[in-house]
């Protein structure tokens, strides 16, 4: 289990993307537990990291959101978050990194879809 994680982390570190998000598993039965792995390379301009998920049909309304202040190069590179969901549906996980450079905020986003399979409630 550790070898693929280390391999993926090494690949992202080599590519140098500002923020990278992966959700495991991509599909699960309800009730479901998901592991989110967020990789943010250390950078002096890193200021804020927000991780959220929403229904794929309504991406502008997050169901759960978690924001972390960052202190540049002193922050850890990898964050692991666990979410448990009981409601069936298609979801989107979003990681948003904010960097301040030359007095301007730059935003970087990575998005990953995931799905919970279960019985839908009848109307």
Give the pLDDT of residue 43. Answer: 87
- Residue 73 DSSP class: G
Q: Which residue has the tokens 């969901």?
A: 85
Give the pLDDT of residue 95. Answer: 94
pTM (global) more than 0.85: no
Residues of the chain falling short of pLDDT 70: 1-16, 119-123
Give the pLDDT of residue 112. Answer: 94
Q: Is there a contact between 95 and 107 (Cβ–Cβ < 8 Å)? A: no
2-117: CATH, from 2.60.40.2550, 3.10.310.10, 3.30.980.10, 3.30.70.2860 = 2.60.40.2550
Give the pLDDT of residue 6. Answer: 59
Q: Where are the domains of the chain?
A: 2-117
């Amino acid at each position: 289990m550790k070898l693929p994680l280390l391999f993926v982390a090494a690949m992202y570190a080599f590519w140098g993307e500002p923020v990278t998000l992966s959700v495991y598993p991509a599909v699960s039965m309800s009730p479901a537990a998901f592991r989110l792995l967020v990789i943010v390379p250390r950078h002096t301009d890193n200021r804020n990291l927000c991780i959220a998920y929403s229904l794929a049909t309504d991406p502008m309304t997050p169901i759960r959101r978690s924001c972390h202040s960052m202190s540049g190069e002193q922050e850890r590179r990898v964050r692991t978050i666990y979410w448990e969901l009981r409601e069936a549906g298609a979801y989107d996980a979003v990681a948003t990194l904010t960097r301040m450079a030359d007095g301007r905020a730059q935003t970087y986003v990575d998005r990953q879809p995931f799905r919970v399979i279960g019985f839908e409630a009848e109307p």
